[in-house]
Amino acid sequence: MTALQRLRPDHAPALLVFERENRAYFAASIPDRGDEYFTGFASRHAELLAEQAAGMHHFHILADDDGAVLGRVNLVDVAEGSAELGYRIAERAAGRGLATAAVREVCELAVSQYGLIGLTARTTRDNEGSRTVLARTGFVEAGTIALMGKPGLRFDRDLAEPVRGAAPR
């Protein structure tokens, strides 16, 4: 069983393990965080929690029953009722529908807890898994971008619109 949880101070050890174990896996499709992320993890974690408390971002982890982090789903740059969605799922947990379920849950929280009305997301064209998650969770393609020097896509989600094929809210 997995649970989506709002990021807390006590998540730091498990989150660092998750990021280290999956660094190479993530770097294949999204920008690498760099060595400084890992050496300064404790202070960066504290900064993120302070920014979350200030309402600038909403960070979440997806944890298993043992507390191991299987993923992250974040809403960043909150402003004027919108935010940007970002997510990453551990290599060992990929392909099980966890990203889709977690993104759906965060979209619900965006409305019910955070008062948001719209979300954006970005991915490279060659990241088929991410594009599939976004399509399944109601995001629509909204333009082309460059991401990591590669062709990418921007997606938008109007949180007032029901997702096709999903049960009404």
Q: How far apart are the C-alpha atoms of 162 and 164, rounded to whole Å?
A: 6
CATH number of the domain bearing residue 123: 3.40.630.30
Closest among 163, 110, 93 to 134, alpha carbons compared: 163
This prediction has a pTM of 0.92
Q: How much is the pLDDT for 168?
A: 42
Q: Is residue 166 part of a domain?
A: no
Closest among 109, 149, 153 to 133, alpha carbons compared: 153
Residue 114 domain boundaries: 2-158
Q: Is residue 19 part of a domain?
A: yes
Give the residue carrying structure tokens 């809210």: 169
Q: Is residue 163 part of a domain?
A: no
Q: Torsion over CA of 169, 155, 128 and 48, rounded to 10 degrees?
A: -80
Give the residue carrying structure tokens 């062709």: 151
Q: Is the pLDDT of residue 169 over 80?
A: no
Q: Is residue 145 part of a domain?
A: yes
Q: How many domains does the chain have?
A: 1
Q: Is residue 168 part of a domain?
A: no
Q: Is residue 142 part of a domain?
A: yes
Angle between helices 41-53 and 12-21 (to 10 degrees): 120
Q: How far apart are the C-alpha atoms of 100 and 68, rounded to whole Å?
A: 19
- The 10s digit of each residue's pLDDT in 31-44 is 788 899 999 999 99
Q: Is residue 167 part of a domain?
A: no
Q: Is the pLDDT of residue 133 over 60?
A: yes
Q: Is residue 76 part of a domain?
A: yes
